[in-house]
Amino acid sequence: MRWTPGGVSSDVEDRRGSGGGFGRTPQIGCGGAVVLLVLSLIFGKNFFTLVDGSGGGSQNTRAQTETVAESPEERREVEFVSFVLDDAQATWEQQLPRYRHAKLVLFRDSIDSACGYAEAATGPFYCPADEKVYIDLSFYDELHQRFGAPGDFAEAYVIAHEIGHHVQNLQGITSEHGKGDSVAVELQADCYAGIWAHSTQQRNVLESGDAEEGIDAAAAVGDDRLQRAAGRRVNPDSFTHGSSAQRVQWFQRGFESGRIEDCDTFR
């Protein structure tokens, strides 16, 4: 892709040094306070330190205020993600008159989101409750090495897919279909990623081979391919995102047309 490194988007929240959210102080009710008081009197030990943050919480607090240590390569990755995020959201501002920006949260290892606790192994995800995309940049190593989908546009596809979920949320599609047909929801997000790719092609942002990288990335994370890689029998009834062929098909449809109306995966 043609892009120039140049800082971090204002829509990026960098929580790579936050310690995964374990520094939160648990809340207790009156009944819990009575139990802790009784235990403290019986054992002669202040059991309130278990919940007031003074016992073990300071280490996590320090972790949240530390400056993020990153290699030059990781810094470039952050700036690339920022570029893709801003470019994708600028595209959707043109497509949807009332488009509202999503935030993108960078984290390491684990994170607390409005949708619950998640680990890096979960992979990138969008949380409609707080309208944020979450990603541990180590996923890109998995994408390149484990899934065999290298290239900067393969990485960009991941961000564009998650922003596609944000678009669905703004359209009311997530609340209407989110729990009923996850495959159709995911395939539509692939199609929306294709719409952004169409825009980049129109603006001469794509370089030779970029579109193929996006197609390879879509195919790499098909449910059938993932099931085979895990040594399991392919079971379409258990699909959550669609087969490799389906994901490629819908990404290409968005890429070729650039129109929202061509991304109706629910019909």
Whether residue 169 contacts residue 131, with contact meaning beta carbons closer than 8 Å, is answered with: yes
Which pTM was predicted?
Answer: 0.81
Whether residue 139 contacts residue 168, with contact meaning beta carbons closer than 8 Å, is answered with: no
Residues 83 and 123 in one domain: yes
pLDDT at 148 over 50: yes
Q: Please compute the mean of the pLDDT values over residues 194-200 and round it to a whole number.
A: 97
Q: Please compute the mean of the pLDDT values over residues 169-179 and round it to a whole number.
A: 87
CA distances from 19 to 71, 114, 240 (A): 19, 16, 30
Q: How many domains does the chain have?
A: 2
Q: Which residues pair with 103 in a beta bridge?
A: 132
pLDDT at 40 over 60: no
Residues 99 and 221 in one domain: yes
pLDDT at 20 over 80: no
Out of 46-50, 171-175, 253-257, which region has the weakest mean confidence (pLDDT)?
Answer: 46-50
Q: Please compute the mean of the pLDDT values over residues 148-158 and round it to a whole number.
A: 91
pLDDT for the residue 212: 92
**Above pLDDT 70, what percent of the chain?**
81
Residues 219 and 200 in one domain: yes
The backbone torsions φ and ψ at residue 184, rounded to the nearest 5 degrees and listed phi first, read: -65, -40
Q: Taking all residues of the chain, what is their mean pLDDT, rounded to a whole number?
A: 84
Q: Please compute the mean of the pLDDT values over residues 77-106 and round it to a whole number.
A: 96
Residues 77 and 60 in one domain: no
Q: Which of 8, 37, 65 is the last residue of a domain?
A: 65
Residues 44 and 113 in one domain: no
Alpha carbons within 13 angstroms on the beta-carbon side of residue 264 total: 3
pLDDT for the residue 45: 46
pLDDT at 170 over 50: yes
The answer as to whether 8 is a domain residue is: no
pLDDT for the residue 19: 59
Residues 78 and 203 in one domain: yes
Selected residue with higher pLDDT from 27 and 260: 260
pLDDT at 9 over 90: yes
Place 251 in a pLDDT band, splitting at 50, 70 and 90: very high
Place 17 in a pLDDT band, splitting at 50, 70 and 90: confident
pLDDT for the residue 178: 66
pLDDT at 188 over 80: yes
Whether residue 260 contacts residue 195, with contact meaning beta carbons closer than 8 Å, is answered with: yes
pLDDT at 50 over 80: no
pLDDT for the residue 69: 82
Instruction: Give the three-state DSSP class for 124.
Output: coil
Q: Please compute the mean of the pLDDT values over residues 191-196 and round it to a whole number.
A: 97
Distance of CA 111 to the CA centre of its chain: 11
Residues 29 and 159 in one domain: no
Residues 78 and 196 in one domain: yes
Residues 114 and 167 in one domain: yes
Q: Please compute the mean of the pLDDT values over residues 135-146 and round it to a whole number.
A: 90
- Residues of the domain holding 42: 24-65
pLDDT at 75 over 80: yes
Residues 100 and 227 in one domain: yes
